[in-house]
Amino acid sequence: MSENGRFQLGTIGALSLSVVSSVSIVICNKALISTLGFKFATTLTSWHLLVTFCSLHVALYMKLFEHKPFDSRTVMGFGILNGISIGLLNLSLGFNSVGFYQMTKLAIIPCTVLLETLFFRKQFSRTIQFSLSILLLGVGIATVTDLQLNVLGSVLSLLAVLTTCIAQIMTNTIQKRFKVSSTQLLYQSCPYQAMTLFIVGPFLDWLLTDQNVLYFNYTPQVLVFIVLSCLISVSVNFSTFLVIGKTSPVTYQVLGHLKTCLVLAFGYVLLRDPFNWRNILGILIALVGMISYSYFCTVETQQKANEASAQLSQAKESETDPLISIENGSGVVNDGVAQKGAVWNSNKDLHA
C-alpha cells in the first residue's frame, strides 16, 4: 500500500474511533447525569483526564509509544488553555439556555476559519465555505430551540469559543511544529489539563449545581457509570488529538456536529427522547453539508497531491537534464562553470 493510502486509512480509522467513542460517552454521561443525578461535569472531566494520563503512562511503560519531551512552556500553556476552555464551555451551558449554548458550539467553526485565515494565511475555497454553511444551518435547525440572552452568559460563551478555537488550532500546529505524535502531545499535556480542572472543577460544579461533589451519594451504580465513563474517555481524548493532528480543527468540528446528529438519533431510538420534524429536517440538511464538505476536501487534497507530484517530477527531470535552463536565457557550461551573470534555475519549480 502506498504512503498516501496508509495515511487515508489511518485518517478514516481515527474519524471512526472518534465518532464511536464520543457517541458512547455522551450516552453514558447522559445516563449518569440525567438518570442518576451526578451533575458534576467539570470534576468528571478532570477524572477523565487523570485516567487518560495513567493509561498512557502504562502504555509508555509497555513501550507502545516513545516519550518525546519538547518545549515545556508550550506544553504547560497548551494544557492549561485546554482546561480553561472546557471549564468555560461548562459555564456557558450553565448560564445560558440550551439553544444559546448550541449556537455557541456552532460559532466555533466560523471562528476557527477566521483565525486560521488571519493568522495562518490558510485559504478556504468557496465550495468548502458553502458546505460548512449548509452544515451549520442543518445543525442549527435540529438543535437550537430558544435564544434567551444575558450579558454574563454571552461573555462566557464568547470566551469559550475563543479559547476552544485557539486550543484546537494549537493541537494541530504543535504536532507539526515539534514533530510529535498525538499520543506524545496528549501524554505531556494531560497532567496540566487534569490539574487545572481538578482545582477549579468542584468550585464550578458547586456554582452551577449548588451541590458539593464530595458529599454526593456514591451508590454502586453511580460508581460503575463513572468508571465506564472514565474508560471511554481514554479513547475520546486519544481520538480527538489524533483527528485534529491528521486533519484540521475545522474537520474535527464538522465531525463533532456529526456526533450531535447521531446522539439525537440514538436518544430517540434508545432513550425515547422527544423528536419532531425540525430534528429530522435539520439532521438531513446537516448530512448534506457533511457529505459535500467531505467530497470537496477529498477533491482538493487530491489536486494538491497531483500538483506536488508534478512539481517533484519536473524537479527530477531538470536535475538529470544536461542542458540546464538559466534565468536570463540559455547558458553554456564550460568545464563546470556557467557564463558570467547567469543565474542557475535548476530548482525553480520547487519554489513556484
Q: What would the pLDDT profile of 242-266 be if each residue is shown by its tens digit? A: 888 887 888 888 888 887 787 777 7
pLDDT tier at 27, thresholds 50, 70, 90: confident
Each residue of 320-347: pLDDT tens digit? 555 444 444 444 444 444 444 444 443 4
Domain span at residue 123 reads 38-214+248-308
Average pLDDT score over residue span 219-225: 94
User: Of 300, 299, 165, nearest to 244 (Cα)?
Assistant: 165
Is 26 part of a structural domain of the chain? no
Question: Is 336 domain-assigned?
Answer: no
- Whole-number Å distance between alpha carbons of 78 and 169: 10
Helix, strand or coil for residue 127? Answer: helix
Query: In this predicted structure, which of 15-19, 46-50, 208-212, 320-324 has the lowest mean pLDDT?
Result: 320-324
Q: What nine digits make up the cell of 190?
A: 494531560
Residue-wise pLDDT for 188-197, tens only, equals 999 999 999 9
pLDDT of 86 strictly over 80 = yes
Q: Could you count the other beta carbons within 10 Å of the beta carbon of residue 195?
A: 16
Domain total in the chain: 1
In the predicted model, what is the mean pLDDT of the chain?
Answer: 82
Let me know if residue 350 belongs to a domain. Answer: no
* Residue 104 in domain: yes
The answer to whether the predicted template modeling score (pTM) of the entire model surpasses 0.85 is no
Confidence of residue 55 (pLDDT cuts 50, 70, 90): very high
Phi and psi, residue 145, nearest 5°: -115, -30
Q: Residue 143: what pLDDT?
A: 78
| 286, part of any domain | yes
Span between the terminal Cα atoms of the chain, in Å: 30
3-state secondary structure of 334: strand
Buried b (16+ CB within 10 A) or exposed e, 109-132: bbbbbebbeeeeeeeeeeebeebb
Q: How far is CA 235 from CA 9, 130, 240, 250, 252, in A?
A: 18, 32, 8, 20, 15
The verdict on residue 230 lying in a domain is: no
In a domain, 324, yes or no: no
Please compute the mean of the pLDDT values over residues 290-312 and round it to a whole number: 82
